[in-house]
Amino acid sequence: MSDQLPAKDVDVLLAAAVAAPSMHNTQPWRFEVEGHVIDVYLDGSRTLPAEDPSGRAMRIAAGAATFNLRCAAASLGYGAWFGLAPYPGEEPDLLARIVLEPTAARDEELTDLARYIPYRHTDRQPSDAVPIAEDVRVALMQAAYAEGAGLTWLGEDDVRSVLDLVLDTDLREIHDWHRRAERAHWVGGRSTDEPQPATGPRPPGVSRSVDGVPSSALGPRSASYPAVVRDLATRPDDRQRAERTFERHPDLAVLSTDFDEPADQVAAGAALERVLLTATRVGVSASFLNQPLEYDDLRRTVQRLTGRPGHADMIIRFAHNHPHAATPRRPLPDFVRKQP
Ligand SMILES: Cc1cc2nc3c(=O)[nH]c(=O)nc-3n(C[C@H](O)[C@H](O)[C@H](O)COP(=O)(O)O)c2cc1C
């Protein structure tokens, strides 16, 4: 076996990793490749200090990227051994270490899920009124469980409670210009390949570059309030986009973990991506109604709605759609350091 992973395999692995979801598409990760080891780090220059002060969302994103790495590794015929947040005390930014070895017994499930990585996009379009089938619900619960997390489907009353919490967060946010300014930096504008600074204010009217959420991915505005899909728009032209009627009874589920340490949050990200790819495979898409989870007290309320102990990490709304609104990603050399 060679000392190094073949360069073409590294490209496939990392392209899969960066296709993972991240809050506001910040893509808050960087990778170091040495021999057969890939380390996944947080990129401290791509934080969301107002909306994600603890870095939980960043760790979830990195966990999702790690899961994609494992799927791509399986599809290339590697077995992957991994540790999540292996040294939280000494190396808090090192979120996962993956060791790849060629194997004759690759993981067939991960190999299959790898095929759906390019087709998973956050879907902010209205759904039909058809509930998610029982067997799909069970499959998605099993996907979360396989990565050490839980997925709880919410009944009608609990969905209404979540929508009340969404209303509550909107009221809290009215006077919080830090949060609104942060979102204005990351959300809106046309997607282009034009490079832009990772931080600092973006002048009004400037196009989105290879990060953030472009206007094209925002979906329509909801005709009713509170909306079942989070409206991320801050710019005046985005706020005036077309209005549509969304489903009245969204299928919502809460992804949670038993504990809330960094490794648990990375595991939550892996579970999230396993759930999302499993859903994509059966033609079910997802969006997120996460705003209550950005406030500690409301996050506890959401977890209580699940009826079990633990820590809520994502509120996921599932729909029968095939989303096409892909968001851009930065070019690979931006976040990779290969050892000589
Ligand atoms: C931790 C986390 C939180 C997120 N929160 C929301 C949210 O509250 N509302 C939303 O519409 N999208 C949310 N997203 C989705 C991101 O905006 C999306 O992943 C990103 O723009 C990249 O687009 P893609 O998922 O289509 O690849 C979240 C993603 C992650 C990983």
The verdict on residue 140 lying in a domain is yes
Same domain, 147 and 114: no
The verdict on residue 125 lying in a domain is no
The verdict on residue 245 lying in a domain is yes
Same domain, 31 and 144: no
37 has a pLDDT exceeding 70: yes
pLDDT of residue 155: 98
pLDDT digits (tens, 9 = 90+) for 295-313: 999 999 999 999 999 999 9
Sorting pLDDT into bands at 50, 70 and 90, what band is 207? low
Same domain, 115 and 71: yes
Longest CA–CA separation in the chain, Å: 59
Query: Looking at 23-27, 129-133, 163-167, 331-335, which range is the least confident one?
Result: 331-335
Pocket of ligand 1 (CB under 6 A): 21-25, 57, 60-61, 121-122, 124, 213, 230, 232, 287-288, 290-291, 327
Same domain, 292 and 171: yes
Whether cis (ω within 30° of 0) applies to the bond prior to 226 is: yes
Closest CA to 266 of 133, 136, 35, 95: 95
Same domain, 184 and 156: yes
pTM above 0.85, yes or no: yes
Q: Roughly how many angstroms between the first and final C-alpha of the chain, as a whole number? A: 18
pLDDT of residue 323: 82
Closest CA to 95 of 104, 108, 82, 86: 86
Same domain, 296 and 169: yes
Domain range for residue 205?
A: 134-319
The verdict on residue 1 lying in a domain is no
Same domain, 221 and 268: yes
Same domain, 107 and 142: no
* Alpha helix positions (H), 116-155: 134-146
Same domain, 281 and 173: yes
Helix 262-281 to helix 56-75 angle, to the nearest 10 degrees? 50
Same domain, 28 and 73: yes
pLDDT digits (tens, 9 = 90+) for 239-262: 999 999 999 999 999 999 999 999
pLDDT of residue 173: 92
CA distance 54 to 66: 20
CA distance 325 to 303: 30
221 has a pLDDT exceeding 90: yes
CB atoms within 10 A of CB 308: 12
Expressed in angstroms and rounded, the spacing between residue 61 Cα and the centre of ligand 1 is: 9
- Mean pLDDT for 167-179 is 94
Query: Looking at 63-72, 174-183, 197-206, which range is the least confident one?
Result: 197-206
Residue closest by Cα to atom 31 of ligand 1: 22
Same domain, 158 and 299: yes
Average pLDDT over the chain reads 92
pLDDT digits (tens, 9 = 90+) for 38-67: 999 999 999 999 999 999 999 999 999 999
The verdict on residue 326 lying in a domain is no
26 has a pLDDT exceeding 90: yes
pLDDT digits (tens, 9 = 90+) for 77-125: 999 999 999 999 999 999 999 999 999 999 999 999 999 999 999 999 9
Same domain, 145 and 245: yes
Residues of the chain with pLDDT > 70, as a percent, come to: 93
The verdict on residue 324 lying in a domain is no
Helices (H) then strands (E): counts for the chain: 9, 11
Expressed in angstroms and rounded, the spacing between residue 15 Cα and the centre of ligand 1 is: 18
Residue 40 and residue 98 in contact, taking contact as beta carbons nearer than 8 Å: yes
Mutation pick for ligand 1 pocket among 18, 22, 116, 324 (CB with most ligand atoms within 8 Å): 22
Residue closest by Cα to atom 1 of ligand 1: 57
The verdict on residue 2 lying in a domain is no
The CATH code of the domain that includes 53 is 3.40.109.10
The verdict on residue 38 lying in a domain is yes
205 has a pLDDT exceeding 50: no
pLDDT of residue 336: 85
- Mean pLDDT for 189-217 is 64
Structure tokens belonging to residue 36: 């057969």
Residue closest by Cα to atom 13 of ligand 1: 288
Expressed in angstroms and rounded, the spacing between residue 20 Cα and the centre of ligand 1 is: 9
pLDDT digits (tens, 9 = 90+) for 257-305: 999 999 999 999 999 999 999 999 999 999 999 999 999 999 999 999 9
Domains in the chain: how many in total? 2
CA angle centred on 219, ends 62 and 288, rounded to 5°: 40
